[in-house]
A and B are shown apart, each in its own frame.
Chain A
Amino acid sequence: MDTQAPIRRAGRATPYLFLAPYLVLFGVFVVLPGLYGLWISLHDWDFLLPRKPWVGLRNYQNLFSPESRDFGDFWQSMKATGLFTLFSVPFLVVVPLTVALLLNREFPGRTFFRAVFFAPYVLGVAVVGVLWRFLLDPNIGLINNMLSASFPWTTDLPWAWVSLVGMTVWWTLGFNAIIFLAGLQDISRELYDAAKVDGANRWQQFLHVTLPGLKPVLLLVLTMTILGSANMFGQSYLVTRGAPANETRTAIMFIADTGLRTFRMGNAAAMSYVLALALLVVSAFNFRLLRHEDM
């Protein structure tokens, strides 16, 4: 109890002084934009025009009425984001988990391989994008050359999706693998020993020890990966450029173009919130689903 007294005697303002620099930035660039964006979405907000008339919920209504200007393009881009998430997430979870299981064994050089698989992740999407644009070039790209084929990797479906998912797996695999690896190492060896005594084979050990032990990590990785995939922008922008016919133009890309290229910011802000709401629902659903299985 003695040691508590001096803490209380410390100035009441002290904690807030420690927090102040952070809170100023957090307030101006996180909290304020959150609210400001809502305000913008309720206006016909053209950055370049002096008047920004209040339109209430019209920007939102427009997104749901087929005759409005953005309806087709917006839902097309939402569909592209949804498809990318749907195609990429299973690979971004299963492949890193497999790699983590490989690296979880004791063998010489493990640290080296861990670093190799993580390395592409430290490169930015800009480097990864221009590199894969070249590798996937239908005419002179290395990939078609090695396959002695002429797949239209960047210009036609379904190849464009295969390219975008494939390069994303290559780029980000290491991140999820490292988190899985840490999760695997937290699972007690005794559980495996007990399973072996009960005569469980490798597959049964995986099902009954590894997977249940990884559940919290799995939930985290799944949620982060879905959020990440829904944020996809650079890959489409640099590699497929939305081709063919905007089929791979993602929601972020369309929102950024609407708001920051044609400066119709009210519409773009409304789109952001619709997309964010959709993601919140998906995340909540994730948590609920995986929590329930715990019972």
Chain B
Amino acid sequence: MSATPARSLQRLSFYVLLALLTWIFVAPLLWMLSTSLKTNPDATRQPPSWIPHPVTTEAYVPLVSMESETPVLLWFFNSLVAATANALLVVATSVLAAYALARLEFAGRRVLFGLIIGTLFIPTFVFLIPNFLIVSSLGWLDSLWALIVPGAGSAFGVFFMRQFFATLPRELEDAALLEGANQWQIFLRIILPLSRPGIATLSVLSFLTNYNDFIWPVYVLFSPRNFTLPPGLSILQGAYTTNYPVIMAGGVVASIPAILLFILAQRHVIEGVSRSGLKG
């Protein structure tokens, strides 16, 4: 098993390249964390140091106060509520619709599926102005409803779940049908339990999409107390232009749920992305 010198050199350069790439990907995130644990003078000291000196959590203090102009903890809570509610709605409506599109015969099935898929190729901003007006007439401006409901009719969700259902064998339902089960029972007792991985993936992807959405909340939420984290971070940047530890602390807080969720569901998320991308 002894490798030739040329081969080990090649292997070495491969690992050096990987290490370099990894550093490029991780360093900015470490810098964000490190800065958030610094005092403001330490954050701008030249030359910059990777280790905070002293280590302090003082940058996190203005973030947790509910009376503050920039109540990051409140935004964090708003973000979690909006993204969770939205993900639940997306999953519920997508799973039901996708089941009909994947397994039931009905007039207009192909046309409807084509229409839904077609909207995947329409840039979302086309709907920015009219959606704002619709949400406004529903009385949802400046409230979390504006973040929860409009994005819940997700073409991606339907497409993704339909692809998933299509991989389940037909024989399962045939047997149940012979025993007299109706479509609803088949859906609940056979299809849903088998679709847990797909449902988990869609939940995570929907949560992250909503949690990270920027342009829409920036324009439909007005009062700081109703903000979610993305517009909140942008005003945090405005309010603390020269206090980088506070801004970076806000970034760290906002990253935690996304990173945690990613670590927990990493395999599913990556699998889901490659699968949904490929079958497009």
Question: Which residues of chain A have a CB within 8 Å of any CB of chain B?
Answer: 2-3, 6-8, 10, 12, 14-16, 18-19, 21-30, 32-34, 36-37, 40, 47, 99, 102, 105, 107, 113-120, 122-127, 129-135, 140, 142, 145, 170, 175, 178-179, 181-183, 186, 217, 220-221, 223-224, 227, 230-231, 233-234, 237-238, 252, 255-256, 259-260, 265, 268-269, 272-273, 275-276, 279-280, 283
Q: Across chains A and B, which 7 residue pairs bring their CB atoms closest together, nearest first? A: A124-B212, A25-B153, A182-B274, A22-B97, A126-B230, A33-B130, A18-B100
* Segment of B51-59, B175-183, B195-203 in the binding face: B175-183
Bound CA–CA A49/B149 (angstroms): 27
Known: A14-B183, A15-B105, A22-B153. A182 touches B277 (CB 8 A): yes
Within 8 Å CB of B21, what residues of A?
Answer: 99, 102, 113, 117
- CB pair B274 A181 closer than 8 Å: yes
Smallest CB-CB separation from B174: which chain A residue?
A3
Please report B residues at the A interface, Cβ cutoff 8 Å.
Answer: 14, 17-18, 21-22, 24-26, 28-29, 31-32, 35, 43-44, 46-48, 89, 92-94, 96-97, 99-101, 104-106, 109, 112, 116, 119, 121-134, 136, 149-153, 155, 158, 174, 177-178, 182-184, 187, 208, 211-215, 218-219, 229-231, 233-234, 236-237, 244, 247-248, 250-251, 254-255, 258-259, 261-262, 266, 269-270, 273-275, 277-278, 280
CB distance from A28 to the nearest CB of B (A): 7
Contact between B96 and A18, CB atoms less than 8 A apart: yes
Query: In the bound complex, do residue B251 and residue A28 qualify as a contact, i.e. CB atoms below 8 Å apart?
Result: no
A6 to B177, CA, bound (A): 6
Q: A22-B93, A124-B258 are in contact. Are A265 and B18 (CB under 8 A)?
A: no
**How long is the Cα–Cα vector from A94 to B91 in the complex, in angstroms?**
34
C-alpha gap A115/B265 in the complex (Å): 11
Q: Contacts A15-B106, A25-B93, A123-B212 given; indicate if A130 touches B251 (C-beta within 8 A).
A: yes
Q: Are A131 and B32 in contact (CB under 8 A)?
A: yes
- Contact between B125 and A255 (Cβ–Cβ < 8 Å)? yes
Which residues of chain B come closer than 8 Å to A107, judged between CB atoms?
Answer: 14
Q: Which of the listed residues A15, A102, A120 has the most CB atoms from chain B within 10 Å of its own CB?
A: A15
List, in ascending order, chain B residues with CB within 8 A of A276's CB: 122-123, 126
Check if B270 sits within 8 Å of A22, measured CB to CB: no
Which residues of A sit under 8 angstroms from B116, Cβ to Cβ? Answer: 26
Q: Are B275 and A122 in contact (CB under 8 A)?
A: no
How many angstroms from the CA of A145 to the CA of B112 in the assembled complex?
55
Residues of the B chain whose Cβ atoms lie less than 8 Å from the Cβ of A175: 273
Contact indicator B254/A127 (Cβ below 8 Å): yes
CB–CB B31/A122 < 8 A: no
**Is A119's CB under 8 angstroms from B104's CB?**
no
Q: In whole Å, how far is B267's beta carbon from the nearest beta carbon of chain A? A: 8
- A183's partner among B99, B134, B278 (CB-CB below 8 A) is B278
Name B250's contact: one of A7, A47, A130 (CB within 8 Å): A130
Please name all residues of chain A whose beta carbon is closer than 8 Å to the beta carbon of B277 when the two chains form the complex. 178-179, 182, 217, 220-221, 224
- The answer on a CB contact under 8 Å between A231 and B123 is yes
Q: Is the CB of A15 within 8 A of B104?
A: yes
